[in-house]
Structure 1
Amino acid sequence: MSNLQHHSVTLTAPPPLALYIHFPWCEKKCPYCDFNSHQIKDRTGGSNQSGFDEKRYINALIADLETELPNIWGRQVHSIFIGGGTPSLFSPEGMDQLLSATRARVNLEPNAEITMEANPGSIEAEKFAAFANCGINRVSIGVQSFQDAQLKALGRIHNGEEAKRAIQIALDHFQSVNLDLMYGLPNQTLEAAKADIETALSFQTPHLSLYNLTLEPNTYFVNFPPTLPTDDEVDAMSEQNLKLLTAAGYKRYEVSAYARKDQGCKHNLNYWRFGDYIGIGAGAHSKISYPNRITRQVRERHPEAYMTTMETKGHAVMESKEVDANDLPFEFMLNALRLTDGVDTQTFSERTGLPLSVISKPLDKASKKCLLDENPSKLRATDQGLRYLNNLQEIFLA
């Protein structure tokens, strides 16, 4: 019988609120990518000569945002993240229209963090300057590697020199820059992985994200798998990453994220602390808290279906549901335990609306396995818990 049979969700205050905007197109679909991104098939059509109808998509995004306004009346938006896909394929004019329309409709915190994802192959100096003028103050560049052979194996459209040039342009125009890097790449050696990290460190960006390449369902790589390093070799790369970045003054504040002091990604921290977010755009997800419930939504996934549904029905939500109270502890811990500092114990009740007592048994079990810190004021994974994070998170499944 469930621990939660006598408990209902009771939230005394809503958590911080963020806005995610999804851009669903890429110049080329990477063989490892399982995100909702669609390769531009026709580069000669569309209103911006790039194979997608920018004006139509932006109109759909604005209309989508308007449908969410009744759910967030009076609440301030603390951050915006424009992800994809490759949002840097937006024209500066389109980006300006989108952000201006957003500011006119939501209560955006002054100096809010506004991040845009970008690929080195879609970067021009003038375009980046224009994006900065629109109000984007943080850019996340999908470098993945600086070595041409690796980039080719990953199906990337840029080479190592283009990646370096893109980073320098970004540093010239934005307050904050993140570099996405991958390790455990096809035929990658420990030395090659080290060279990538050292090149990234030479730019002294305030933030670095490091991801182990994994074979995801519904990707080209899962059907035609490349030769990847062994688990032991990947572990050695991970340990090497931590050592190099720590020595360079970066703190690992989340499983895959490293930052200089006070340079963590505010938008992602909101996810990991189980904050709320509106997601607009094709396939976007939302999480909204109310005094007595927490809800999730999912939009139409395919860009054409998303735009058509917005135009014909006035909304593109294909699924909307209340999160079952039994699922909230796992959803919370799935996110919070990714943070190396964890979260304050009281955050559990503040964000789930449930008493901490509902997870007393799994907390005790995780502590006895040395996966969870025994500090009663923190919900925090031990070093061993971070190493075996999946095992730790599974303890909190309903």
Structure 2
Amino acid sequence: MLLTKALDYDLPEHLIATTPAEPRERARLMVVWPDRVEHLRVADLPDLVEPGDALILNQTQVLPARFRGRAIETGGFAEGLWLGDVTQGDALTWHLFLKARRLRAGKRFELLDRGDRPSGYVLELIRRVSDDGVWEAAVEGGHTTPEVLNGIGLTPLPPYIRGARARAGEIVAEDADRRAYQTVVAIEARNAPVLGSVAAPTAGLHFTRELLHAIESRGVRRGEVVLQVGAGTFKPIESEFVEQHVMHREWCSLGGARWAMDHPGRVVAVGSTSARTLESYGRALRGGEQPGAWMETDLLIAPGYAWERVDVLLTNFHLPRSTLLAMVAAIVPGGVERLRALYAEAVMTGYRFYSYGDAMLIVPKIGSSVCAPERR
């Protein structure tokens, strides 16, 4: 078992990226080979893929899921995050996080538009769902979540970006974040159990349509899966050992990329969410299951994991003590100790971290699949 403290590291705040690279593909790229490290740019990816590879991206759409409001009784400010629908129609109800004083069932909040003016929507708390701050609430005045969020919602940037900006005195327009925090392959989910994501699949943010075309021109087959990213992606591992962590559940779909389950070449996963989708379906199929168009996954990938479908991983630099970092440790050749050395090198050489930051391309084996032959 892996001690969670092995996934700790120190990061100077100035290395938290508060805006993305411009253009996107100018982000730095640490390429991790079995025996060496190269320092390149995301724009160099066409030279790093091989004919016959599959490039798999997550095409989930980030919703404007963050909102603000005021308590009707006291005028106190509130900030929240939509997590999912409970019911729709005349009795629209949500699951949500809400940050406000003295929360209780029956408390009502006037939701504000992006100019902090009354929107006409009212939120009434129904019941506390969990001890970690999740509530069920009724939304008065709206019939569908897209209608409400498109009217009042803000880009759900992670707190570490908003906090770093505030401390640095940075102001970034909401419209700029809405463009930057969405991948170029994002599409509206249809017939999905969850409408969209509350966080971006950040490795996908590095791609432009021109870069994707250049990669495909190398003889690479592109495919898109969907994993609707939930707020649990930011939850730190609090248990002593990584394997004791209770993993959050998220909905995923192979979409039109079911062919990737039988792809004979290397599978390059763009981001942890694409990797988690491929691995979840791979494990289910190998276990004799026949998962449908959508499946719910709570797969935790940590060192010692036997990879099913992913041969190469493109990913950002992740938070300490996170399940995302545990996944990276599971695929980096050399495991946790090498991962710690790579992160120390990234800090020393000024890589930018987290959602808007730089990327790492991990190639565990050269010239062949990292997955066992019987898993093909």
TM-score bracket, normalised by the shorter chain, equals: under 0.3
- TM-score, normalization by structure 2: 0.27
Q: Which has the higher helix share?
A: 1
- TM-score, normalization by structure 1: 0.26
* Greater relative contact order (Cα < 8 A, sep 6+): 2
